[in-house]
């Protein structure tokens, strides 16, 4: 699918061989805040998740893809479309580049643009949106660079480390 291939990366479906990588990402406590996770995931649960990942986005309202470096074919991150609402033609997006050594190479920017292109052309959504906490400067910069506009603030939305944080609401519309 050409909409999922860029200059540096391509996005692909989950494979059973991704289990170790997903296990590592999902159980990195430093990422739990952005994923709204409170407990670790077992290998068994992740195996079930991967085995069900073939189900249609219209049925399960989400899809996760692996971000792969085109040259090495190694996984460098994950990108999710979730809360798919075909009636109102919108979908949320989340992205993680992992491990940290893979950040700042342009993978996230290109992946975000690829997934938006996919959402607009294949899913026919009107908008892709994201929630980003006020202190996540890297994500704010990424999403703004990728054409997302901050259109709202959810005050004291997320509790982290005993402190409430605002969450910014970002949208990118089909052009």
> Model's pTM, two decimal places?
0.93
Residue with tokens 């292109």: 117
The per-residue pLDDT of the chain, averaged, comes to 93
132-161 average pLDDT score: 96
Contact 136, 110 (CB under 8 A): no
Burial state string for 68-103 with b = 16 or more CB within 10 A and e = fewer than 16: bbeeeeebbbbbbbeebeeeeebbbbbbbbbeeebb
Q: What is the pLDDT of residue 2?
A: 60
Among 2-6, 21-25, 91-95, top mean pLDDT goes to: 91-95
- Are the C-beta atoms of 4 and 114 separated by less than 8 Å? yes
* pLDDT the model gives residue 3: 67
Report whether pLDDT(20) > 90: yes
Q: Between vectors from CA 41 to CA 94 and to CA 168, what angle results, nearest 5°?
A: 25
Domain positions in the chain: 2-123
Which pair of tokens denotes residue 166? 């605002």
Is pLDDT larger for residue 48 or for residue 114? 114
Domain 2-123 = CATH 3.30.720.110:
no
The more confident residue out of 36 and 23 is 23
Host H or E run for residue 166: strand 163-173
State residue 71's pLDDT score. Answer: 95
């Amino acid at each position: 699918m050409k909409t999922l291939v860029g200059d540096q990366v391509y996005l692909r479906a989950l494979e059973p061989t991704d289990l170790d990588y997903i296990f590592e990402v999902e159980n990195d406590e430093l990422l739990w805040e952005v994923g709204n996770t409170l407990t670790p995931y077992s290998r068994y649960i992740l195996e079930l998740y991967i085995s069900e990942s073939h189900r249609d986005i219209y049925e399960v309202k989400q899809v996760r893809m692996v971000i792969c470096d085109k040259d090495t074919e190694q996984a460098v991150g994950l990108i999710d479309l979730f809360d798919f609402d075909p009636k109102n033609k919108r979908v949320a997006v989340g992205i993680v580049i992992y491990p940290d050594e893979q950040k700042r190479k342009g993978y996230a920017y290109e992946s975000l643009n690829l997934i938006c292109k996919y959402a607009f052309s294949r899913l026919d959504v009107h908008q892709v949106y994201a929630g980003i906490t006020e202190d996540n400067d890297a994500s704010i910069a990424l999403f703004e660079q990728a054409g997302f506009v901050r259109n709202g603030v959810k005050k004291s939305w997320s509790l982290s480390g005993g402190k409430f944080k605002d969450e910014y609401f970002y949208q990118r519309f089909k052009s």
